[in-house]
Amino acid sequence: MKLHRAAMILGFVVLGLIWSSVANAEQHQHALGTTEAGANTPMADEQPPASTSGGSPAVSNSNPAASTMQMSSHAPVVFTLRTGIAEGRMVFIGDGGEIDRKVNPTLMVHDGETVQINLINGEGAQHDVVIDQYAARSAIVTGKNASSTFSFVASKVGEFDYYCSVPGHRQAGMQGLLQVMPGNRAEMGATATDITRDPADLPPPIGARQPRIVRVDLETVELKGQLDDKTSYTYWTFNGKVPGPFVRVRVGDTVEVHLKNPEESLMIHSVDFHGAIGPGGGAEFTQTDPGSEAVVTFKALEPGIFVYHCATPSVPTHISNGMYGLLLVEPEGGLPQVDREFYVMQGEIYTVQPFGTPGDQELDYEKLLDQRPEYFLFNGSVGALTRTHPLYANVGDSVRIFFGVGGPNFTSSFHVIGEIFDHAYVLGSVTSPPLTGVQTVSVPPGGATIIDFKIHRGGRYTLVDHALSRLERGLVGFLDVDGPRDDAIMYKGPAK
């Protein structure tokens, strides 16, 4: 029997890849966002009018949408197990990340998280995965490379066995441990600097004023930042955050950009504004050595929402490392007023090691050229808009999201699960009538859009790229809405 079983599972090969995503957002009180001093500073005596639009006011701790017990099937913690043989016995082998190549690895999660387990058949015998305490199980996979996926909410703290229920397989060694720890993952200590841009961190609307000179101060900061749990990466940034500061002017303004590259930098940097007309969008005049400063001035001739990014070779390297942001050129009189504004950008990171691998990660240039990113991200890091800076609003609010794609390579199909965009400014044009009643907007790399919607019901709304496999590479955000949740718009149960 042992020889027969061994013959069945010859040829097993361990491959590395884990899809590990984010935990539920931590319930907390969220203060008003702030912008770096001097990032977007008028050079005239008149200051922009105060406005209730933009920023993110504090939210009551009673917000039910932020409950750590609420399931969010759009933000699972994902483990991949591959069946195989090790030390003469049948086992599960971890595939990628912290469990990579580990035999019957311990799967560590936190109370209240949604857990997804991917099972891959490594050798062609029948297998499944079962966790009795959660009444959770995969389908039986038979053929080599066949797979099955299942998910559940880790609502019980403790240690629980996972195992293969095919007769004899558990006894032959196919058993591991699921460890559910108390507390929220967001409380875990960071290993590097938080580079995430708070989506509420943007200047208020300009409104009605005459054109003037506006000074914009950008500093190119190279730093080690938090990419994922226990994972860091050397980012190149504008002003220490990803994306760079939200630059807001009005049509007709004269924009004076000061780009400073600190002496401790290793790289030359520059900036190309897609909303500027002239050589390289300003990049030709801003190639700045470490320890130097460059100045470029341009006239904001066309209203719209525009990407800016570093344009120093290798340009895709600088962009992927985090050097991108948005420039809003408001039309005369400004945009229609809303209650809340948010700033979100999507990008990719190409690391040598697979997604979720702990430690300091480095850029893989071949993956960058081949367009094979390990990470898809909102605002620079895994969990940026879930654990670190989720969006907050109240029922009845009108919400505006300025959304752009730094890229450098992939188009986004931006979607908010559970909402419909009342207005979508296609390709960032604010001079054309916006589309109405839109479900998803397509935004190319180097492109941007503006979407508005009214919130009618409390709960959690999830920001995604509807190329949904990217969710399991880190691309997800939360909009938590405080207010009534059981109303005529949607409720659990049959029609009343």
Q: What is the pLDDT of residue 157?
A: 85
* Mean per-residue pLDDT, 346-371: 96
Residue 6 confidence (pLDDT) above 60: no
Beta-carbon contacts of residue 59 (< 8 Å; ≥ 6 apart): 29, 30, 66, 392, 394, 480, 482
Is 174 a known ligand-binding residue? no
Plot region of 488 (φ>0 → left; ψ -120 to 50 → alpha; else → beta): alpha
- pLDDT value for 40: 58
pLDDT at position 187, please? 59
Q: Give the pLDDT score at 229.
A: 86
Is the pLDDT assigned to residue 471 strictly greater than 70?
yes
Task: Give the mean pLDDT of 430-441.
Answer: 97
pLDDT tens track for 112-121: 888 999 999 9
**Residue 239 burial (CB < 10 Å; 0-12/13-18/19+)?**
buried
Determine if residue 323 is labeled as part of a ligand binding site: yes
The predicted model scores a pTM of 0.76
According to the annotation, is 269 in a ligand binding site? yes
pLDDT of residue 25 exceeding 50, the answer is: no
Range name among 10-24, 111-125, 341-355, 419-433 with the lowest pLDDT average: 10-24
* More confident site: 462 or 18: 462
Q: For 314-442, where are the alpha helices, taking DSSP H only?
A: 315-320, 365-370
Structural domains of the chain sorted by starting position, each given as residue range(s) with its CATH number in brackets: 2-22+70-183 (2.60.40.420), 189-496 (2.60.40.420)
Per the annotation, does 74 bind a ligand? no
pLDDT at 3: 35
pLDDT in tens, 381-412: 999 999 889 999 999 999 999 999 999 999 99
- Look at residue 189 in the predicted model and tell me its pLDDT: 57
* In the predicted structure, residue 45 carries a pLDDT above the cut 80: no
Confirm whether residue 309 is marked as ligand binding.
yes
| 22, 201, 311, 383, 390 from 197: Cα distances, Å | 17, 7, 21, 12, 11
CA distances from 60 to 90, 124, 195, 199, 481 (A): 51, 53, 26, 19, 11
Q: Regarding predicted confidence, which is higher, 200 or 71? A: 200
Decide if pLDDT at 133 tops 70.
yes
Mean local confidence (pLDDT), 129-134: 93
For position 307, what pLDDT does the model report? Answer: 98
Taking only the tens place, the pLDDT of each residue in 52-107 is 333 333 333 333 333 333 334 346 788 999 999 998 899 999 998 789 889 999 99
| Those residues with Cβ within 8 angstroms of residue 377's Cβ, 6 or more apart along the chain or in another chain | 346, 347, 348, 349, 384, 474, 475
